Chain A
Amino acid sequence: MRYLVKYGVMFVVLVLAQVLLFNQVHFRGYLTPFVYILFVMLLPVSAPRYLLLITGFFIGLAIDIFSNSLGMHTAATTFIAFIRPWIIRAISNRDEDRLEYPGLKQNTFTWFLYYTIFMVFSHHLVLFFLEFFTFTNFLVTLFRVILSSLFSVIIIILSQFLIFRD
């Protein structure tokens, strides 16, 4: 029950912050940070996979409805929700205790940095190629993916110092 309220509030706050605040940021005309994927990142480590996938699907859908990009964010968040267990497994040491809450405070800074980079990059890769694949050439899109990922990673790490501290 406590989880339900906590993640419910987080869902609403992140969706609103994304569509009202971060979607209005157009650094250099085209760089927009996607911070809402924190929701998928911060779900409990032991959360069942079907729950990961379903919540990932719906937060993507919520962003899509607000930004008229039907399906694109949904596909990207569903994808990172699917690969999240492998990412966590890949960057965690075997002897390290895996904590329940994959936040910055609960883990080392390097661990969280790697976690954020892998999650953000996978998300942006799917998102940008769905948005551009028929038109622009591969390298331009990849360049955008890398720049935007960098931007998003910085904002997500900063947000961990400012708000999601518990």
Chain B
Amino acid sequence: MSSLFRYLLKHHAFVLFILLETLALVMVFNYNSFQKASYLNSANRLSGNIYQSFNSVTGYFGLIRVNRELAGENARLRMLLENQPVQPDSLKYLTSGSDTIIRYFPAKVINNSVSRSFNYITLDRGSRHGIKRDQGIISAGGIVGIVAQVSDSYSMGLSVLNRRWSVSAKVKKSGAYGALTWPGENYRIARLSEIPLHVDIEIGDTIVTSGYSSVFPEGIMVGTIDRFTRPGGENYYQIDVLLSVDFKTVSHVEVVEIRNKEELKALEYLPERQ
């Protein structure tokens, strides 16, 4: 026993190294449970505060672009509103609107990255503003990501540019849907798979969210088809999608809450539980 101690003492650096390195690797491979458990992500109070105060300074530099984007979005929404056929019967609103209520919370991006293979986004809104886990994040341009962790006043989400996440998306023209993932090389390009070969697609076709995932409402812009190939021996296209959101400049976003989500989820998972 004493010789063991002597050995450990003599090689304490090596033993300590193995210990710390193992701890680090355990964190890498169990990132999910560690991030969930505690303050080990950028939504914690300290890093949230630091990012927010830094952003309150640097935020001014992008104001011209942000204003232009918001004015464009306003004009688009106003056009949609004006061209909406008038519905004199308000009962219709009440009955059709009551089962699915979609709410949008505005939020500001206070930290963001595009250069890594798992990119995250930090927002200046948290649970006390109504943000919950698994809510979608969109911007004027289209989908941005999904909320992963929420603290009191900040939240952290996976952006589309994260290889640990995929979202259901469809070709707007035909309605054929598949999974949108990010292969990890270019921050402008995502990949849409599982679109069968019999579906007609062209370069430039619009890709939108399918609404099947209960994270995003249907029809949120994702991007356009940049190019596509037919891998030999497979029944599916491999489609490169040019994302409509420029993740380098994304600054103001909205978090989507779909109110009947819990019920929908419960219903969808019912057979599995039995």
Contacts and interface: CB of A to CB of B under 8 A. Distances in A.
B66 to A, nearest CB: 17
Contacts of B39: 65
A131 B117 contact: yes
A78 B41 contact: no
B115 A30 contact: yes
Interface string A63-83: 011111111101100110010
B20 A26 contact: no
Contacts of B163: 135
Interface stretch (B27-35, B123-131, B170-178, B227-235): B27-35
A150 interface: no
A71 B50 contact: no
B260 interface: no
Nearest to B120: A68
A71 B118 contact: no
Nearest to A81: B17
A68 B24 contact: no
A16 interface: yes
A15 B185 CA distance: 27
A20 interface: yes
B4 interface: no
Contacts of B120: 67-68
Interface in B137-189: 156, 163, 184-187
- Chain A contact patch, size range: 20 to 34
Nearest to A79: B21
A79 B40 CA distance: 21
Given A60-B24, A71-B28, A136-B184, A78 B113 contact: no
B203 interface: no
B44 A74 contact: no
Interface in A32-81: 32, 49-50, 53-54, 57, 60, 64-72, 74-75, 78-79
A53 B24 contact: no
Nearest to B47: A66
16 contacts: A19-B111, A32-B116, A54-B20, A57-B23, A57-B24, A64-B27, A65-B39, A65-B42, A65-B47, A67-B120, A70-B40, A72-B24, A75-B21, A75-B28, A82-B17, A131-B116
Given A29-B186, A60-B24, 15 more contacts: A23-B113, A26-B187, A26-B248, A64-B40, A65-B47, A66-B50, A66-B51, A67-B116, A69-B116, A70-B28, A71-B26, A71-B27, A72-B28, A74-B20, A78-B21
